[in-house]
């Protein structure tokens, strides 16, 4: 699916990762292991460090302490090609407002060296239900449509690690359903999905590894019969060491 030259991996490890900004600890000794087929949910209050964690996983931000390993290897050792295996949908969606939907996908596709570009772009547009709007300027799209296109852009090169920062924000019911379906398909295809979200309802049926973050500290939510929202509230109520 993805380009053969890029190094592949089936697990991602965060080992005691800390990220400091001056006096502030955005992330504190975070440890997490994700395997192919996992959908990891990051839950936590605003400012807890979810976006920082995703940035570190995307290799854009280096940890102040600790290690990030992709298939057992450190990021610098894997070079620029590693980024070809990572797909990111940020909070700001990473789309050019002045280009059309198709042009956005074509641009990023070419940049990532995607083969059969025309076919993949068409497929991406179809999956995002945006084929009729392919020739429209993205600046004119609603948030929901841009989100769908942003996701198509993030997945165009068939990444192994998919990082999503609050992907369900502003989506209507149909789009939420679509997105959940796509994430399940990714899971079945062996991708590693790490998703920060506040949408507990949707996360319930989707996330199999819920993790809670508070003030930079991380804690896996204990498995149990309750819904994620309950377990999350419980975890926040406790004192964390």
Partner 1 sequence: MQRVIVPGLLAVAALMFARAPYLIDAAPYESTMGLVQKIFYFHVPAAMTSMLSAFVCGIASVLYLWRRRPAADHTALAGAELVVVFGVIALVTGPLWARKAWGVWWQWGDARLTITFVMWMIFVAYLLLRRFGGPGSEVMSAAVGLFGMALVPFVYLSVNFWRTIHPTTDVVRSLPPEMAWPFRWSIVAFVLFYAALVLVRVRLERQRLALDEAYAALEE
Partner 2 sequence: MTTALRAAWLIAAKDLRTEFRSRELVYTTLFFGMACVLVFAFAFAAPSGDAIAGVLWIAVLFSGTVALGRTFERERQNETLRALLLAPVERGAVYLGKLIGLMILLGGLELVLVPIIGILFTAPVGRAPWLLAGLLLSGTLGFAAVGTLFSAMLSRVQSRDILLPVVLYPLTVPVVIAGVEGTAAIFAADPRFDVARMWLAMLIFFDAVFVTLALWTFGAVMRE
Binding-site size, partner 1 (CB under 8 A): 8
User: What does 206 bind: partner 1, partner 2, none (CB cut-off 5 to 8 Å by kind)?
Assistant: none
Q: Rounded to whole angstroms, how far apart are CA atoms 44 and 134?
A: 36
Site mask for partner 1 (CB under 8 A), range 205-234, x = bound = ----------x-------------------
Site mask for partner 2 (CB under 8 A), range 133-172, x = bound = --------------------x-------------------
Which of 16, 31, 97, 169 contacts partner 2 by CB under 8 A?
97
Closest-CA residue to 160 (of 12, 5, 55, 29): 12
59 touches 83 (CB < 8 A): yes
Which residue blocks in the chain are alpha helix, DSSP H?
50-57, 75-78, 101-111, 117-127, 143-155, 173-188, 200-206, 228-237
Closest-CA residue to 202 (of 174, 233, 162): 174
User: What does 22 bind: partner 2, partner 1, none (CB cut-off 5 to 8 Å by kind)?
Assistant: partner 1
User: What does 102 bind: partner 1, partner 2, none (CB cut-off 5 to 8 Å by kind)?
Assistant: none
Among residues 25 and 91, whose Cβ is nearest to partner 1?
25
User: What does 17 bind: partner 1, partner 2, none (CB cut-off 5 to 8 Å by kind)?
Assistant: none
| Residue in the block written with tokens 């990030």 | 68
Structure tokens at 113: 């060296």
Does 65 help bind partner 1 (rule: CB under 8 A)?
no
Among residues 43 and 70, whose Cβ is nearest to partner 2?
70
Does 22 help bind partner 2 (rule: CB under 8 A)?
no
Residue-wise DSSP of 134-203: TTSBGGGS-HHHHHHHHHHHHHTT--SEEEEESTTTT--HHHHHHHHHHHHHHHHTT-EEEEE-S-HHHH
Does 6 help bind partner 2 (rule: CB under 8 A)?
yes
Least distance CB 21 / partner 2 (angstroms): 9
Beta bridge partners of 25: 20
Does 218 help bind partner 2 (rule: CB under 8 A)?
no
Question: Which chain residues interact with partner 1 by CB under 8 A?
Answer: 20-25, 28, 215
């Amino acid at each position: 699916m993805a380009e053969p030259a890029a190094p592949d991996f089936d697990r991602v490890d965060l080992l005691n990762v800390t990220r400091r900004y001056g006096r502030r600890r955005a992330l504190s000794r975070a440890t997490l292991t994700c395997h192919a087929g996992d959908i990891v949910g990051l839950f936590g209050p605003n400012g807890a460090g979810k976006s920082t964690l995703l940035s570190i996983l995307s290799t854009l931000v280096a940890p102040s302490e600790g290690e990030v390993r992709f298939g057992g290897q450190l990021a610098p050792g894997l070079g620029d090609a590693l980024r070809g295996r990572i797909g990111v949908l940020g909070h700001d969606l990473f789309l050019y407002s002045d280009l059309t939907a198709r042009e956005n996908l074509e641009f990023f596709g070419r940049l990532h060296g995607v083969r059969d570009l025309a076919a993949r772009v068409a497929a991406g547009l179809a999956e995002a239900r945006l084929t009729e709007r392919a020739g429209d300027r993205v600046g004119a799209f609603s948030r929901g449509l841009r989100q769908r296109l942003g996701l198509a852009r993030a997945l165009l090169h068939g990444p192994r690690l998919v990082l999503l920062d609050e992907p369900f924000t502003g989506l209507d019911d149909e789009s939420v359903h679509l997105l959940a379906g796509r994430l399940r398909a990714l899971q079945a295809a062996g991708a590693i999905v790490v998703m920060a979200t506040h949408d507990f309802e949707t996360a319930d049926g989707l996330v199999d590894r819920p993790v809670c973050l508070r003030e930079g500290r991380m804690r896996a939510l204990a498995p149990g019969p309750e819904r994620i929202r309950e377990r999350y509230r419980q975890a926040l109520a406790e004192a964390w060491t």
